[in-house]
Structures are given as C-alpha cells and as structure tokens.
Amino acid sequence: MNTNALMDLVAAYVRNLYATAPAETQLPYHNLGHVEGVVQAAVQISDHYQLEEEDYTAVYVAAWFHDVGYLTGAAEQHEMRGAALAEKWLREQNAAESLIMKVKGCIMATRLPQSPNTLIEQIICDADLFHMGTERFKETNKQVRKEVEARLGCALPDDKWYAGNIEMLQRQQYHTDYARTLLQQGKEENIKKLREKLDKKEHKAMETNSEIKGKEKDKEHKKKDKGMKPERGVETMFRTTSTNHLRLSEMADNKAHIMITVNSIIVSVLVSLLFRKLEDNTNLIIPAILTMATSLISIVFAILVTRPNVTQGTFTKEDITSKRANLLFFGNFYRMSLDDYEWGINEMMKDSEFLYGSMTRDIYNLGVVLGRKYKLLRIAYNVFMFGFVISSLSFVLAIIIR
C-alpha cells in the first residue's frame, strides 16, 4: 500500500473511532479536535525538517493514534493502549515492521514527562504540546480544566489551578529547534498571563483576610478595616519588586536564548552550504564574512547575557555585626557552614533594620544585574538587526555586479 493511501485510511479510521465511541468517552479536551490539531502541528514541523517518506508517515500515523487510548479506558496507560491499537491496525494494512516500531515509539514518547530519543519522536512530542506556545492555550486550558475536574469529581480553586499550570509550563520544554524558535516566546507570554491571574487572586485573598481581621467584633460585621499595617505594605512592596525583577531576568534570558538559536542556525547554514561554493563564487566572500561576523558577535553578546557570575560565597561575623552581609543571596553564603549561616540569619531576623536593609540591597543588586543584561541584549539585537540588513544588501549587490 502506498503512503498516501495509508495516510488517508488512518485519518478516516480514527475519525470513525471517535464518531462511534460511547458518550462517556467523549472528553472536553482529549477529543477528535485535539487529535486533529496535533496532526496539523506534526505535519507543519515534519514539513520543516523534510523527513524521509517512512519517517513522515510514522509521525502522521502516530499523531492520529496517540490519544485513542482514552476511548478504551482511563487516562493512565492510554499511550500503551493507543500504541497497541496502532500496531494492530498497521498489521492489518500489511505495513512494514520498521514503520510499526517507529509509530509505537512516537506514541510512547508522548507520555509525560516526555522522553523522545529520535527526531520523529521529538516532533510528535512538540506537536502534542504545540498549543502551549500559541494563543489557543487560553481556550484549550479551559477544556483541560473541565476534564481534570470531571476526573477528580470536584472543582479546583483558581489559585491552585494557575499555580499548577505555571509549574507545568515552566517544566515543559520543546525538543526541536523549530518549535523552540516558533513557540518559546508564546509560551512565556502564556506563563506571564497566568502569573498575572495568580497575583490578582492572591492580592484579592490578602485584601479579604485583611478586611476580616480589621472588622469590629460586633455581630453585624458590617464595618471593614481597609487599612493595611505599614509592615504588611513594606513586605508586599519587597515581594512585588523582587518578583518583577525575576520575571524581567527570565525574559532577558529567553530573548538571549532565541538570539543564540537563530544565529547558530545561520552559522550552521553558512558553514555547511555557502562556504563550499565560495571558490566558484568569489563575489560572495565579503557578504558571507559579514553575515558570519554578525552572527558570531550576536551570539557572543547573547551568551554574555546568560553567563553567571561567581562570587566568593562567604561572610564574616564582622559583616553581620556591621550589617553589611546580604544573606538573602546565595552567592554570599554557599561556602559557609550551616551553623554559621543559621547564626547569621537569626541575627538578621532579630533586627528589622538589618532585615529590610538586606532586602533592599538584594533588590538593588538584582537591578544592577538586570541593567547589565538588557544593555548586552540591546547590543546583541542591534548588531543582528543592522548586520543582517547590511549583509543582505551586500549579497544583493554581489549578485547584481557579478
């Protein structure tokens, strides 16, 4: 059976499975719509990598079968049931043994936590979680929540759901360079939106608790004390500022990673393809050198953004008594013994001035690091922007005056 016929048959077969499945197996998220979305994403990524015919077919078939296990049982081990169904169907179609093994490997690789070993397994894993880096995440996340709550038999609090989503998105990593370049920024935006929702919920809960504590002890409980203690306000300020600094640092690192990935691909293409032809096309030497220099300089500055600084990791009792040590930053104590560190922390907690001073210095140092990161990141993006334009124009001129 040729490849096109097999691909048409698998689509019709799986669609019929979902159409004839009992109503109780029709889930809010793991349904035919999800499967078709994964198939579309798998085709998009596979087209980018120009897979060989058997690999392309394996990814396509695996995308259709990867979640059919939900139709025959619980969520646990659904990948194994889906792989078994795919193997049975492929054998009925007299498919090659090598294709069957690849399809089963792709389906099993989608099991969380994902563990792909080959390029086609990486492609199906990225296709399965493709929505996490797109604007569709908001809608699909609502469907996932309905499915999880139905499985648990109870509603989940918003704050726990948002926190769990943030942890999941941070833990999830795309495996192919294509998916990372296309989806990483979108995934970070989705994490940011979830954090904003979580902060809003926590702030609302904090206000509610403050109002309850500030109510008068009369039976009506109608008067609410909306005032906030100065200490509480200071703590909120420090927490919010530190959180904002950390988010900005994560954004800088992600932008640097994107810059490194894009320019690494450009350098690889230049080395593997263009430089081989320079002997026959000497007019392209200068444009090639300009492009290579632009990419290398951009990579260097992007690496400087993410390169960690190592500090001495110790403090003295004199530093504590003079209130100079910042015990909130690991770089100032990671070489100290636990006893010395506990002593320093206890001394700091006894003195609110020392404690707030340490928090202030910690925020200041974070700001200094951020300033350096964004300065280097700006240089990297400027070099890439202007260098890429100049290199492109030089290629055009070299071809015209050839």
CATH 1.10.3210.10 fits 3-128, yes or no: yes
Q: What's the CA gap between 170 and 27, in Å, rounded?
A: 26
- What pLDDT is attached to residue 331? 59
Q: What's the CA gap between 105 and 111, in Å, rounded?
A: 11
DSSP annotation of 368: H
Question: pLDDT tens digits, residue range 248-286?
Answer: 778 878 888 888 888 888 888 777 766 666 666 677 778
- What pLDDT is attached to residue 227? 44
Q: What's the CA gap between 211 and 207, in Å, rounded?
A: 6
- What pLDDT is attached to residue 395? 79
Q: Where are the domains of the chain?
A: 3-128, 249-400
- What pLDDT is attached to residue 326? 63
Collapsed DSSP state (helix, strand, coil) of residue 402: coil
- What pLDDT is attached to residue 98? 94
DSSP string computed for 95-164: --HHHHHHHHHHHHHTSSSP---SHHHHHHHHHHTGGGGSTTHHHHHHHHHHHHHHHHTSPPPHHHHHHH
Q: What's the CA gap between 41 and 126, in Å, rounded?
A: 8
Q: What's the CA gap between 166 and 159, in Å, rounded?
A: 11
Helix and strand element counts for the chain (H, E): 14, 0
- What pLDDT is attached to residue 158? 86
Provide the residue-wise pLDDT of the chain in tens; the chain has 402 residues.
677 889 899 999 999 999 998 888 889 999 999 999 999 999 999 999 999 999 999 999 999 999 999 998 888 889 999 999 999 999 999 999 999 999 999 999 999 888 899 999 999 999 999 999 998 899 999 999 998 988 888 888 888 888 889 888 888 899 999 999 999 999 999 999 999 888 888 777 776 666 666 555 555 555 444 444 446 666 677 677 777 777 777 887 888 888 888 888 888 877 776 666 666 667 777 887 888 888 888 888 888 878 776 666 566 666 666 666 666 666 566 667 777 767 777 777 776 677 777 777 777 777 777 888 888 888 888 888 888 888 888 878 877 876
- What pLDDT is attached to residue 219? 52
- What pLDDT is attached to residue 287? 80
- What pLDDT is attached to residue 325? 63
**Cα Rg for the chain, rounded, in angstroms?**
28
According to the 3-state scheme, what is the secondary structure of 204-261? HHHHHHHHHHCCCCCCCCCCCCCCCCHHHHHHHHHHHHHHHHHHHHHHHHHHHHHHHH
How far, in Å, are 123, 128, 173 from residue 169 at the CA level? 18, 14, 8
Q: What's the CA gap between 49 and 176, in Å, rounded?
A: 10
Q: What's the CA gap between 41 and 60, in Å, rounded?
A: 10
